Amino acid sequence: MRSFTYERPATPAAAAAAVAGNPGARFIAGGTNLLDLMKLQIETPAHLVDVNGLGLDRIEPTAEGGLRIGALVRNTDLAADPRVRKDYAVLSRALLAGASGQLRNKATTAGNLLQRTRCPYFYDTAQPCNKRQPGSGCAALDGVSRQLAVIGASEACIATHPGDMAVAMRVLDARVETVDAKGSERAIPIADFHRLPGDRPELDTTLRPGELITAVTLPRPLGGTHVYRKVRDRASYAFALVSVAAVVQRDGTGRAAFGGLAHKPWRVEAAEADLAKGAKRAAAGILAGAKPTPDNAFKLKLAERTLGAALNQARA
Amino acid sequence: MKFDTPAGTNPIDQLKVVGRATDRIDGKYKTTGTAPYAYERHDVAPNQAYGYVLGAGIAKGRVRAIDAGAATRAPGVLAVVTTLDTPKLGLGRMNYATLFGGAEIQHYHQAIAVVVAETFEQARAAAFLVRVDYAPEAGRFDLAAEAKSAKPVGAGSGEGSGSGAEDRTGDFEGAFARAPVTLDETYTTPDESHAMMEPHATVAAWQGDKLTLWTSNQMIAWGKESVAKIFGIPKENVRLDSPYVGGGFGGKLFVRADAVLAALGARAAGRPVKVALTRPLVANNTTHRPATLQRVRIGATKDGVITAIAHESTSGNLPEGRPETAVDQTKLLYAGANRLTAMRLAHLDLPEGNAMRAPGEAPGLMALEIAMDEMAEKLGLDPVEFRIRNDTQVDPGKPERPFSHRDLVGCLRLGADRFGWARRNPTPGQVRDGHWLVGVGMAAGFRNNLLTKSGARVRLDRAGTVTVETDMTDIGTGSYTIIAQTAAEMMGLPLDRVVVRLGDSDHPASAGSGGQWGANNATAGVYAACVKLREAVAQRLGINSADAVFADGEVRSGNRAVPLGEAAAQGGLSAEDTIEYGDLSKKQQQSTFAGHFVEVGVDVDTAEVRVRRMLAVCAAGRILNPKSARSQVIGGMTMGVGAALMEELAVDKRRGFFVNHDLAGYEVPVHADIPHQEVVFLDEVDPMSSPMKAKGVGELGLCGVGAALANAVYNATGVRVRDYPLTLDKLLDRMPDAA
Amino acid sequence: MSRRELVAGASAAAALTTLPTRAGAAIAAADTPVMAKVALTVNGQRRDLDLDTRTSLLDAAREHLHLTGSKKGCDHGQCGACTMIVDGRRINACLTLAVMHQGAEITTIEGLGQPDNLHPMQAAFVKHDGYQCGYCTPGQICSGVAVLAEIKAGIPSHVTADLAAAPAVTEAEIRERMSGNLCRCGAYSNIVEAMTEVAGRQA
């Protein structure tokens, strides 16, 4: 871990300004991923801007009948919020399926969106990795890739977004609100927030340098039955092989987003019309164009069957 | 004390303290965080500096150059010791990859430098400034590919099991060819990591030529000898102290890089240095359980009598390394006149393969006991009945040699009864509970009991307190408590009048912790020392030792009753002895036995396997402390769940290393994976084992569990998986269509 | 309070005057430790520390306060051995910086009970043999105490069947919630028994 200076600004704009003018600066909130990576010198900030004191820790109703979740709301609090449990249960379920109680107590809403891949080669600084060190190559392509992406990947990177929360937010059409150093705000649809790797795998998201996430907003409740089905080798405290966030209405229509398949939560709206016709049909559209490795080809069948399980659970 | 005739009645048989479920005497320290582990010994040496170890970034080749300039100049840095500054060090006992020194890289994350600084943060930061120039070489990393060129090798595991390159009894090929029912299948087990919770750690301090290591090590006497060998210094100049060990499972049988680099760092910095291996280094820097390819062939008569049995195993290791002795139990577990076991060893350039909990038997039974399940099905026999039908009371390869005590049948019968085995549906894939396919499976467990000499010193003070000193370690096994129970029983004291001091190489050398030999041998050593102390007490009190009764804190003889402490009124009494063994274990085979029963649910959609019930019935001689012995068994069962369902060091076959080298990537079972576990100990003693009449249980709990689980998965789904771990991807293609 | 409170305190003055906060690259090149003052309340006692900003809360306790009960098993949030209760919540002390906890109330295993004055959870672990090597044990116990409080507070878990209802103390709830604490010795079954007993006594 490189030495760093540390400050605790008082307002979001000041925080954004502190990072925007300083290429070596990073925000720190829960720190559960950033510090992990700093210990391995995968992240080497020279200045940390602690945003925990910014007061962005409230969950409030929006004028449109949705919910505005402060960037610093802890995963535990978000999952336990009565409004989230009642109207956005898929989000509660996704959060509770992730990490451990200790990590959820610390991890924040914004930080969770920004967590970096768990590709083992990204984590091993002796190995080539285009995400960690652009241009160095990708060891995962011909290496161990059981956990890695089957769709939307590139020749440069087959990493996955490891999170659960973002998958639920994707199915709920959340928007990510930000502020920059000049104080200007914008709202990024969650679909556009995470990137596919392409030839710039070092970029996980479309955030601009210094842009600070202030909140995530959820639109009006969708109703229906909410399911988050996470599949992993051990029963808890593990990243998903495949996960499905689904909201299914009484008439069988619905939405579904997938974790564990791609560099971002994977959702194909065009294929959702087929959900009422069953998992096999819908999965064919959702997974069209998949290019798995021999190690992870099983994820295609697993995704289809997990979707089936989620739909069955929703209709039970 | 020489133990060369079967044990008669002795004071241990009173069972006033021994044999009773007893809370651990170290429990109040462990639960309050006051038990000191190696890296926490702030008190033992002043002014400790911090060492941070750097591992090689290639799997094979040479270090051409190391530029440590920037690291040396970094703030707080006291010394940088690189492998190029250091001549290749000697090898410690039972290790064969160089821990440090010289330009050659034998495996990934082999230590190449230690950076010593005033603080941990400074040492860690400076370590990343060390620049290394490598000359990589091609290596061999794929066991399946190298298996073709593997050579026949006979060897021991170093922890008891062992086998020849090829061992035969009768005519296996002929009998197998003639057998009306046969099985010929191949099974694989992956590389596994010990993944103990405390990473390898050491505080090192030099006083002139004398080196003290406060470390985390299972085998203190081996360690002392190894440190002397590695550094080329006299044994007398080395002291190891390891009173608490945060798990080992075989990974801390040996001196590792933490100890070596703490010592080198301390010499370079001129002050005490402490080093812990970082978690990402542990998997590749230290040892692991090697992967195996196993072929099992069984031939039987139509009524299920085995006439031919063969078990062959191929594993890989560095040159000079040993094979995984996965065939050993097959020599002894079942009857059959015609037998073959064989081992082959391939040269691999992966990290050093070595002992992990039940080396040999753990992976061997994972194969053999699936094969037995498959064979039972072919025969149309219940798997419990098939095993009972092929029980043997003698070593099948040497029928003149009986087992000292063998009640595998008792384990299986009682286990079947307790588990409700009779309700099992023998047709796979028939039982459904919601979205779960439910199945049950069983397997036999087997592990030899090993006798090895063990010493202890006991002292009596005038307060009537007995202090036991031995270099025996407690790695979670409960050594503190059973040693205290032994001394209390022998000296007629309550448990709280016994003090136990462990893990110091200045104490008499013990059996140490490995190969499930610790409990029986270490307590037998304490028994021997206590016999001497009793004699000394009787002499001091002028009592004929043959008449003396030690009970309730008193020594009684006829009408006379004297408080024990009075024997030390004119000064403390001390006695030291070592238990040594004759040839009893050669004349009779000493082994431990278990019946493992498991119920699983397999998700009908996703093929996730979750364990619902587990039972082990164990026959392992006298159980010294049923509470901690039970914990040893459930711990083994838990590790068996890991081995069956999730644990696998993932090999990058191009780059030559274990990719998932942390506790997020290498998954071990968590709370949610483990149901309530039941353990039953058969009430038995084995007078051939020692005066304690006990045998080991520390590894038995693991032996066979994996196969019982795999057999349960088959019973649940009808899918037979022969490649561990049984992850869902291996089941998914063959699962019944989801409803 | 100033708009941008510089927490890197007076003791870092030398470093800070030569290396203004916006000159991150210059600091990184020199890698001079940046010191900061932090005051924590640990087990009810105020502790003032002057720390390298890189110091984790875990290392602050283990190396600076010599409270070594909290263990370092992985240093990456993968094992739970470092679990402490900070401002009423259990966290992985290895994955947070000490300087981020100015004024925090911290309970470590040493604060729950002592060898001759065991906390009920510690006593239950001894009684049920909820440990073996002991290395994960302080983390398990801190987590165990916090888990029962979380259930009482109505915080749901992955296995809570009905998100609308208050969770109950069941074995399944305990197992799921304790899954962030690895025990390689495999004492899980006994730990669940210990926690169930303590929960029963509390109810």
Q: How far is B570 from chain C (nearest CA, A)?
A: 32
Q: Is the pLDDT of residue C184 over 50?
A: yes
B303: exposed, middle or buried (C-beta count within 10 Å: 0-12, 13-18, 19+)?
A: exposed
Residue among B31, B194, B677 whose CB faces C122 most closely:
B31
Do residue C76 and residue B676 have CB atoms under 8 angstroms apart?
no
- Residue B234: CB atoms within 10 A of its CB come to 10
Percent of chain B with pLDDT over 90: 97
- How many helices (H) and strands (E) would you count in chain C? 8, 6
Q: Does B368 touch chain C (CB under 8 A)?
A: no
Q: Is the pLDDT of residue C25 over 90?
A: no
What average pLDDT does range B360-368 have in this prediction?
98
Instruction: Write down the pLDDT at residue C8.
Output: 37
Instruction: Write down the pLDDT at residue C7.
Output: 38
Condensed to tens digits (0 to 9), the pLDDT of residues A3-26 reads 999 999 999 999 999 999 898 999
Specify whether B170 is located in the same domain as B201: no
**Between B and C, how many CB-CB pairs are < 8 A?**
211
Q: Is the pLDDT of residue C9 over 50?
A: no
Percent of chain B with pLDDT over 70: 100
Q: Is the pLDDT of residue C10 over 80?
A: no
Q: How far apart are CA B316 and CA B352, in angstroms?
A: 9
Q: How far apart are CA C191 and CA C195, in angstroms?
A: 6
Q: Is the pLDDT of residue C5 over 80?
A: no
- Residue C11 banded pLDDT, cuts 50, 70, 90: very low
Condensed to tens digits (0 to 9), the pLDDT of residues A290-316 reads 999 999 999 999 999 999 999 999 988
Q: Residue B674 in contact with residue B641, Cβ under 8 Å?
A: yes
Q: At residue A174, what is the residue type?
A: A
Question: Is residue B572 situated within a structural domain?
Answer: yes
Question: Is residue B739 situated within a structural domain?
Answer: no
Q: Looking at beta carbons, which residues of chain B come within 8 Å of C135?
A: 37, 196-198, 246-247
Specify whether B506 is located in the same domain as B431: no
| DSSP result, B205-233 | EEETTEEEEEE--S-HHHHHHHHHHHHT-
Specify whether B132 is located in the same domain as B153: no
Q: How far apart are CA B477 and CA B496, in angstroms?
A: 20
What average pLDDT does range B677-683 have in this prediction?
98
Specify whether B604 is located in the same domain as B459: no
> Mean pLDDT of all residues in chain C?
88
Residue B176 three-state SS: helix
Specify whether B127 is located in the same domain as B65: yes
Question: Is residue B41 situated within a structural domain?
Answer: no
Q: Which chains touch B (3 or more CB pairs under 8 A)?
A: A, C
What average pLDDT does range B6-27 have in this prediction?
98
Instruction: Write down the pLDDT at residue A77.
Output: 98
Q: How far apart are CA C133 and CA B243, in angstroms?
A: 11
Specify whether B225 is located in the same domain as B306: no
Q: Which residues are CB-neighbours of B253 under 8 A, at least 6 positions away?
A: B94, B158, B159, B217, B218, B219, B222, B354, B355, B514
Instruction: Write down the pLDDT at residue C4.
Output: 38
- Residue B725 preceded by cis peptide, ω within 30: yes
- Residue B736 banded pLDDT, cuts 50, 70, 90: confident
Q: Look up tokens 């000490």; give the residue.
A: C98
- Residue B156 banded pLDDT, cuts 50, 70, 90: confident
Condensed to tens digits (0 to 9), the pLDDT of residues C131-181 reads 999 999 999 999 999 999 999 999 999 999 999 999 999 999 999 999 999
Q: How far is C186 from chain B (nearest CA, A)?
A: 4
B539: domain CATH number is 3.30.365.10
Q: How many CA atoms lie within 13 A of C86 on its CB side?
A: 25
Question: Is residue B42 situated within a structural domain?
Answer: no
> Mean pLDDT of all residues in chain A?
97
Residues 165-194 of C with CB under 8 A from A: 175-177, 179-181
Question: Is residue B308 situated within a structural domain?
Answer: yes
Specify whether B115 is located in the same domain as B238: yes
| Domain containing residue B124 | 47-138+197-247+252-284
Question: Is residue B271 situated within a structural domain?
Answer: yes
Q: Which chains touch A (3 or more CB pairs under 8 A)?
A: B, C
Question: Is residue B333 situated within a structural domain?
Answer: yes
Q: How far apart are CA B169 and CA B182, in angstroms?
A: 18
- Residue C106 banded pLDDT, cuts 50, 70, 90: very high
Specify whether B534 is located in the same domain as B598: no
Q: Which residues are CB-neighbours of A184 under 8 A, at least 6 positions away?
A: none
Specify whether B315 is located in the same domain as B444: yes
Q: What is the β-pairing status of strands B61-67 and B104-105?
A: antiparallel
Asked whether the ipTM of the predicted complex exceeds the cut of 0.95, the reply is: yes
Instruction: Write down the pLDDT at residue B706.
Output: 98
Question: Which run of H or of E encompasses A25?
Answer: strand A25-28
Q: How many domains does chain B have?
A: 3
> Which among B116, B436, B123, B159 is positioned nearest to B322, based on CA atoms?
B159
User: Annotated catalytic sites of B, by residue?
Assistant: 699
What does the block give as tokens for A170? 């994707």
Q: Look up tokens 């509470």; give the residue.
A: B627
Q: How far is C175 from chain A (nearest CA, A)?
A: 9
Do residue B27 and residue C126 have CB atoms under 8 angstroms apart?
yes
Question: Of the residues B565, B583, B601, which one is the last residue of a structural domain?
Answer: B583
- Residue B393 banded pLDDT, cuts 50, 70, 90: very high
Calculate the CA C131 to chain-centre distance.
19
Q: How far is A4 from chain B (nearest CA, A)?
A: 11
Q: How far apart are CA B263 and CA B232, in angstroms?
A: 13
Instruction: Write down the pLDDT at residue B94.
Output: 86
Specify whether B396 is located in the same domain as B440: yes
Q: Is the pLDDT of residue C21 over 70?
A: no
Q: Is the pLDDT of residue B426 over 70?
A: yes
Helix B518-541 vs helix B479-491: crossing angle, to nearest 10: 30
Question: Of the residues B583, B611, B638, which one is the last residue of a structural domain?
Answer: B583
What does the block give as tokens for C77? 């949030």
Q: How far apart are CA A259 and CA B373, in angstroms?
A: 38
Mutation for B interface: C68, C185, C193, most B CBs within 10 A = C185
Q: How far apart are CA C176 and CA C171, in angstroms?
A: 9
Task: For residue B733, give Cα distances in angstroms to A300, B489, B730, B738.
Answer: 11, 59, 7, 11
> Which among A156, A153, A151 is positioned nearest to A261, based on CA atoms?
A151
b/e string for B430-460 if b means 16 or more Cβ within 10 A?
A: ebeeebbbbbbbbbbbbbbbbbbbbbbbbbb
Q: Residue A25 in contact with residue A46, Cβ under 8 Å?
A: yes
Task: For residue A242, give Cα distances in angstroms to A163, A172, A229, A310, B408.
Answer: 11, 18, 8, 12, 43
Q: Residue A286 in contact with residue A278, Cβ under 8 Å?
A: no
Q: Which residue of A has its CA nearest to C35?
A: A5
Condensed to tens digits (0 to 9), the pLDDT of residues B513-557 reads 999 999 999 999 999 999 999 999 999 999 998 899 999 999 999
Instruction: Write down the pLDDT at residue B738.
Output: 60
Q: Residue C131 in contact with residue B634, Cβ under 8 Å?
A: no
Question: Of the residues B583, B610, B636, which one is the last residue of a structural domain?
Answer: B583
Specify whether B471 is located in the same domain as B366: no
Q: What is the β-pairing status of strands B431-433 and B436-448?
A: antiparallel
> Which among B451, B442, B454, B321 is positioned nearest to B385, based on CA atoms?
B442
Question: Is residue B144 situated within a structural domain?
Answer: no
Strands, E, within B8-130: which ranges?
Answer: 49-55, 61-67, 77-82, 104-105, 111-117
Specify whether B409 is located in the same domain as B420: yes
Residues 81-140 of C with CB under 8 A from A: 83, 89-92, 95-97, 99-100
Q: Does B26 touch chain C (CB under 8 A)?
A: yes
Condensed to tens digits (0 to 9), the pLDDT of residues A75-85 reads 999 999 999 99
Q: Looking at beta carbons, which residues of chain C come within 8 Å of A24?
A: 24-25, 27-28
Condensed to tens digits (0 to 9), the pLDDT of residues A262-277 reads 999 999 999 999 999 9
- Edge-to-edge, what's the strand order for the sheet holding B609-619? B431-433, B436-448, B591-603, B609-619, B677-681
Question: Which run of H or of E encompasses A106?
Answer: helix A101-106
Instruction: Write down the pLDDT at residue C203.
Output: 60
